[in-house]
Amino acid sequence: MNLTLVVTVWFVLGLATLGLAIYRRIFTLHSEEDVVRLGPGEEGEIPKQVALAHKMEVIDRWGKTLTIIVVVIGLGLAAAYLYQAWLDPSSVPPNFYRRTTP
């Protein structure tokens, strides 16, 4: 399996998660009110608030799902990298603690 493809998918999913978080933030800044309208004469606002709450629930559900997927793929990539480094130390770049030169 090509590791570059998995890293690319992981990166794109991470960007999608970030974009969704930014969209939710902008959406709530422009749409959400701090007051729940339940008084007399405000019955027309109740369906709008219910629709807004439903849309925010959908955005939150997708955000949580994407976040979990990104974290799981990231942990899998880290585990694959560490496993490959454990099997063949010469295949990973040298660092401060380990020298690969003779």
The pLDDT value recorded for residue 21 is 95
- State residue 44's pLDDT score: 78
Supply the pLDDT for residue 98: 57
Q: 17, exposed or middle or buried, with CB in 10 Å at 0-12, 13-18, 19+?
A: buried
Q: Tell me the DSSP string of 11-78.
A: HHHHHHHHHHHHHHHHHHHHH--SS---STT-TTHHHHHHHHHHHHHHHHHHHHHHHHHHHHHHHHHH
Distance CA 100, CA 18 (A): 38
Q: Which structure tokens are listed for 47?
A: 């369906």
The per-residue pLDDT for 102 is 52
Global pTM reads 0.74
Q: What is the pLDDT of residue 24?
A: 92
Taking 50 as the pLDDT cut, the residues of the chain under it are none
pLDDT of amino acid 70: 96
Confidence at residue 41, expressed as pLDDT on a 0 to 100 scale: 75
